[in-house]
């Protein structure tokens, strides 16, 4: 295959400082950004404005599932753009209907609502829950500590981490947090006002922690018993990243009694559009018609461009067997990280996660001499060193770094990535 590496426009070439100055002057400083200005990409490679190449194992935070500048995605996007871009949800169009059909086909009978982001998909689930419980005066949603559900006002209220709430009180009422993977804690938290339970299949921002099969099955039974909706946030762990369409399908494989497990609502975004902003939530029968005409909406949701791209992403993932690739390379990273933990136990504690949602748990900062001098968390310092060595990854909290690469990462690239991680680890251990 001929490598097409677009030349970066002259205005940004070698202009990292100028770009950062633009941000300093004109962009709201709500993000703690790394000192990198990226110019272009191809597959799992990215180039910064100075021409340095990086292997990208962060995937834009689990988004670019079929790789950067994917030519098939670019073709689907431009073909749709030449045909029709936007009509609003006042009218019907084929791509939205076909994309909903794809999602339902991978889950179970139900219906899909389209929006533009993960936080917005979860907003839809909160509204679904409120509508469901409204006539009985039930509205409260139980979520997990260490969860992450987005940055809207309801999203930060739902999220079980104080750092996202700080400064934005009073919190929107109606959310209660309990420890993750702790079924008795959920049972104890249920009140007459409770209407739903919301969890991530694999907690992402909270540190790459999968739910256990027993927890999922226990939640299903508990929700049935108490007439609660079981809602799952599949924004980060979904879309084939764990080796199945949704993480619960992977986690429950071969588990007795799990054949019929389903949540009642499920949110999606990130990998769904490979970087084209699109979110969605699926509602299981018999709740699929709860949000009737006039109850929920968004101007851009399910627009032609997003749906055309998401359909192409589905097609590529299935045609190329990328779920199987996610499983295979997930195992490869997992085994590689176990070996690194044995070799360098002060620096790396071990792997976490499922499929290509990989966490690397780092040793305590004070046990890594090179980290002790800085007040930055171990995860940030490790990620910075990986950048210097040409590898992009994503921190989660203070102790964990995440690999959330494209699902079409090659074995060669995975091997290269692990080698870079080992070289940085070895230096820190020395
Ligand atoms: C990223 C994320 C969200 C928020 O998605 P946005 O598109 O950033 O709004 C919600 N839930 C989980 C689990 C996420 O990882």
236 CB near ligand 1 (under 6 Å) = yes
235 CB near ligand 1 (under 6 Å) = yes
43 CB near ligand 1 (under 6 Å) = no
How confident is residue 372, by pLDDT bands cut at 50, 70 and 90? confident
231 CB near ligand 1 (under 6 Å) = no
Instruction: Read off the DSSP letter of residue 68.
Output: B
230 CB near ligand 1 (under 6 Å) = no
Q: What is the pLDDT of residues 374-393, one digit of tens each?
A: 999 999 999 999 999 999 99
334 CB near ligand 1 (under 6 Å) = no
361 CB near ligand 1 (under 6 Å) = no
148 CB near ligand 1 (under 6 Å) = yes
Ligand 1 pocket, mutate which of 144, 204, 278 (most atoms under 8 A from CB): 204
63 CB near ligand 1 (under 6 Å) = no
CA-233 nearest atom, ligand 1? 13
Q: Check residue 14 and give its pLDDT.
A: 58
Q: Check residue 178 and give its pLDDT.
A: 98
CA-61 nearest atom, ligand 1? 1
146 CB near ligand 1 (under 6 Å) = no
Tell whether the model's pLDDT for residue 37 goes beyond 60: yes
CA angle 85, 86, 88 (to 5 degrees): 160
CA-270 nearest atom, ligand 1? 7
Q: What is the pLDDT of residues 292-338, one digit of tens each?
A: 999 999 999 999 999 999 999 999 999 999 999 999 999 999 999 99
Q: Check residue 405 and give its pLDDT.
A: 98
CA-122 nearest atom, ligand 1? 10
Tell whether the model's pLDDT for residue 3 goes beyond 90: no
Mean pLDDT of 95-124: 98
Rounded to the nearest whole angstrom, what is the distance from the C-alpha of residue 81 to the centroid of ligand 1? 27
Strand partners, 395: 401
Give the predicted TM-score (pTM) of the model: 0.95
The Cα–Cα gap between 398 and 350 comes to 15
Ligand 1 pocket, mutate which of 62, 115, 150, 353 (most atoms under 8 A from CB): 150
Strand partners, 230: 197
CA angle 330, 331, 332 (to 5 degrees): 90
Q: Check residue 365 and give its pLDDT.
A: 81
Structure tokens at 273: 């559009």
Q: What is the pLDDT of residues 136-165, one digit of tens each?
A: 999 999 999 999 999 999 999 999 999 999
Q: Using a CB cutoff of 8 Å and minimum separation of 24, what contacts does 90-99 make?
A: 93/304, 93/307, 95/304, 95/307, 95/308, 95/311, 96/302, 96/304, 96/307, 98/307, 98/311, 99/280, 99/302, 99/307, 99/310, 99/311, 99/314
Percent of the residues in the chain that have a pLDDT greater than 70, as a whole number: 97
Rounded to the nearest whole angstrom, what is the distance from the C-alpha of residue 59 to the centroid of ligand 1? 14
149 CB near ligand 1 (under 6 Å) = yes
Q: Check residue 366 and give its pLDDT.
A: 81
Average pLDDT across the chain, whole number: 96
269 CB near ligand 1 (under 6 Å) = yes
CA-118 nearest atom, ligand 1? 5
Contact 371, 365 (CB under 8 A): yes
Q: Check residue 26 and give its pLDDT.
A: 98
CA-119 nearest atom, ligand 1? 9
Q: Check residue 222 and give its pLDDT.
A: 98
How confident is residue 253, by pLDDT bands cut at 50, 70 and 90? very high
Helix (H) or strand (E) holding 102: helix 94-105
Tell whether the model's pLDDT for residue 186 goes beyond 90: yes
Nearest to 274, CA basis, from 234, 221, 315, 313: 313
Mean pLDDT of 274-290: 98
């Amino acid at each position: 295959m001929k490598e097409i590496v677009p030349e970066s426009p002259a205005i940004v070439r070698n202009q990292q400082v100028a770009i950062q100055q633009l941000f300093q002057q004109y962009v709201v400083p709500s993000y703690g950004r790394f000192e990198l200005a990226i110019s272009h990409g191809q597959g799992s490679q990215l180039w910064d404005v100075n021409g340095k190449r990086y292997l990208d194992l962060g995937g834009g935070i689990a988004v670019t599932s079929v790789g950067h500048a994917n030519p098939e995605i670019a073709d689907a996007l431009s073909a749709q753009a030449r045909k029709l871009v936007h009509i609003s949800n006042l009218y019907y169009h084929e791509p939205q209907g076909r994309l909903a059909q794809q999602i339902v086909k991978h889950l179970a009978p139900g219906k899909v609502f389209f929006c533009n982001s993960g936080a917005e998909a979860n907003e839809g689930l909160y509204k679904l829950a409120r509508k469901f419980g409204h006539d009985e005066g039930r509205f409260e949603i139980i979520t997990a500590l260490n969860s992450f559900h987005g940055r809207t006002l309801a999203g930060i209220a739902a999220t079980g981490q104080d750092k996202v709430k700080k400064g934005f009180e009073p919190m929107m009422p109606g959310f209660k947090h309990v420890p993750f993977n702790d079924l008795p804690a959920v049972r104890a938290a249920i009140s007459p006002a409770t209407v739903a339970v919301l969890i991530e299949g694999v907690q992402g921002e909270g540190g790459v922690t999968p739910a256990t099969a027993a927890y999922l099955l226990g939640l299903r039974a508990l929700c049935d018993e108490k007439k609660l909706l079981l809602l799952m946030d599949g924004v980060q762990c979904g879309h084939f990243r764990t080796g199945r369409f949704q993480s619960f399908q992977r986690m429950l494989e071969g588990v007795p009694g799990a054949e019929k497990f389903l949540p009642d609502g499920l949110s999606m975004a990130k990998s769904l559009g490979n970087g084209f902003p699109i979110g969605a939530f699926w509602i299981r029968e018999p709740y699929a018609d709860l949000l009737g005409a006039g109850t929920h909406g968004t101007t851009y949701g399910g627009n032609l461009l997003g749906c055309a791209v998401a359909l192409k992403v589905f097609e590529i993932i299935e045609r190329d067997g990328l779920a199987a690739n996610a499983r295979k390379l997930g195992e490869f990273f997992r085994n590689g990280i176990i070996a690194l933990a044995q070799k360098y136990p002060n620096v790396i504690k071990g792997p976490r996660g499922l499929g290509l949602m990989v966490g690397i748990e780092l040793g305590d900062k004070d046990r890594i001499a090179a980290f002790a001098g800085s007040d930055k968390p171990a995860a940030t310092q490790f990620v910075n060193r990986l950048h210097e060595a040409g590898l992009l990854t994503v921190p989660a909290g203070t102790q964990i770094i995440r690999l959330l690469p494209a699902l079409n990462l090659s074995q060669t690239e995975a091997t290269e990535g692990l080698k870079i991680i080992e070289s940085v680890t070895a230096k820190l251990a020395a």
